[in-house]
Structure 1
């Protein structure tokens, strides 16, 4: 399994929390309801901040 940094884990946890509250939105502005999508958004944000996150699968 891939190793994620502490910062990446925090971002994913934060995005999951926002999803449960109904505050997380996707790029198109719609509410995120799927856990997988929330995790993907969290990892993407962590990647942008320079955290250690494995590359996206093609």
Structure 2
């Protein structure tokens, strides 16, 4: 499992400290209220500064169900004309 560098961990710690003091702002200028968002901001800032941060895990593509072949449709029999 990939690990974050010590400096990256420290950066996230600094950002969390700002978050707890209520001073952390998002890029739009609004106050950050979510803990997850604060961590994401810290990781993003660490990446920008060139610190070792593992790549985002790729999600496996959902398995496609085997396509069912539809039975060929049979043409309706025409009624024979009565004489």
The alignment's TM-score, normalised by the length of structure 2, stands at 0.64
Greater RCO between the two (CA within 8 Å, min separation 6)?
1
Structure 1, unmatched stretches of 5+, are: none
The aligned residue for residue 46 of structure 1 is 46
* 2:13 matches 1:10: no
Q: Which structure's CA Rg is the greater one?
A: 2
Q: Which has the higher helix share?
A: 1
Structure 2, unmatched stretches of 5+, are: 59-83
Alignment: residue pair count: 58
Cα RMSD, aligned residues only: 1.4
* 2:14 matches 1:35: no
Segments of 4+ in structure 1 off by > 3 A?
none
